[in-house]
Amino acid sequence: MTDKVPVSIWAKDYVTSNPIGDAEIVDLPTGERWKTGADGYAHVMAEPGRIITPVLEKEGYPRMQGPTVTIPPDGLNDADHEITLQVPGNGVYRALMTAFGKPQPGRHHVVTTVSALGKNLHDDEGEKGVSVTLRSADGASRNDAVYLGTFLGKTEWIRPILSVRLPFLRAALAHKATSFDGGAIFMNVPPGDYIFEARKNGVTISSAAMTIYPNSPNVINVSPPWGPKVKGPAPSGPSPI
């Protein structure tokens, strides 16, 4: 019998940053359920090599999927490696679905955050100026991420929403890279296995994997530390000829 290792799953409210306690966490591949405590944590034991894809279920919140994570031999039991779920309340979720539009049948909206150097979901700091590509298992890639902007030091939604709702104005309205929140949204993504690839001059950024299942919720949020992460300065290479 394979020994199980500790795995921490943490749920956080997108708007308030408060932990989401008394929530059901459902592993999408197996249907196994766990419950978060008042601190937002569900502490579970799992076999190394097992794949966990958590979905949060709680009154007042939409069903939302987190990252797909393969459990390593030592488990996942600290803030830089725990599995996370960042979920808005029902009111914010409905407003965003109205503004951006619900996914087409059989498709899903996918959100990820590019983490700044040494940051995780507890730090809540993204990397500005990053372009994100979503690559599927067959090698096809999408470069049509929707990026949020910044206005008076706060996240700005108007231009991103208009760029989605008014495609003929997208070239003029859409932001070209992440703002300080590090967020990127891909609309209407079909089920499958995907890799997020992120680029910014002068820094090295890790890629991140994600799986969308046929029974995944409308929205998947691949939140830190499982989205792309800034690893440090880009290595210097030979000067171009």
pLDDT one-digit tens code per residue, 67-97: 999 999 999 999 999 999 999 999 999 999 9
Q: Which residues of 39-66 are buried (b: 16+ CB within 10 A; e: fewer)?
A: ebbbebebeeebebbbbbebeebbbbbb
Ramachandran assignment for 173, one of left (phi > 0), alpha (psi -120 to 50 degrees), beta (any other) = alpha
Q: Is the pLDDT of residue 194 over 50?
A: yes
Share of the chain above pLDDT 90, in %: 79
Residue 167 pLDDT class (50, 70, 90 cuts): confident
Residue 1 pLDDT class (50, 70, 90 cuts): low
What's 90-233's CATH class? Answer: mainly beta
Residue 241 pLDDT class (50, 70, 90 cuts): very low
Residues 6+ apart with CB under 8 A from 94: none
Q: Are 223 and 85 in contact (CB under 8 A)?
A: yes
pLDDT mean across residues, the chain: 92
> What is the pTM for the complete model shown?
0.91
Burial status of residue 179 (CB atoms within 10 A of its CB: 0-12, 13-18, 19 or more)? buried
Is there a shared CATH topology between the 5-87 domain and the 90-233 domain? yes
Q: Is the pLDDT of residue 239 over 50?
A: no
Domain edges within the chain: 5-87, 90-233
Burial status of residue 131 (CB atoms within 10 A of its CB: 0-12, 13-18, 19 or more)? middle
Helices and strands (DSSP H and E) totals, the chain: 3, 21
Q: Is the pLDDT of residue 169 over 90?
A: no
Once rounded to an integer, what is the mean pLDDT over residues 190-218?
A: 96
Q: What is the CATH number of domain 5-87?
A: 2.60.40.1120
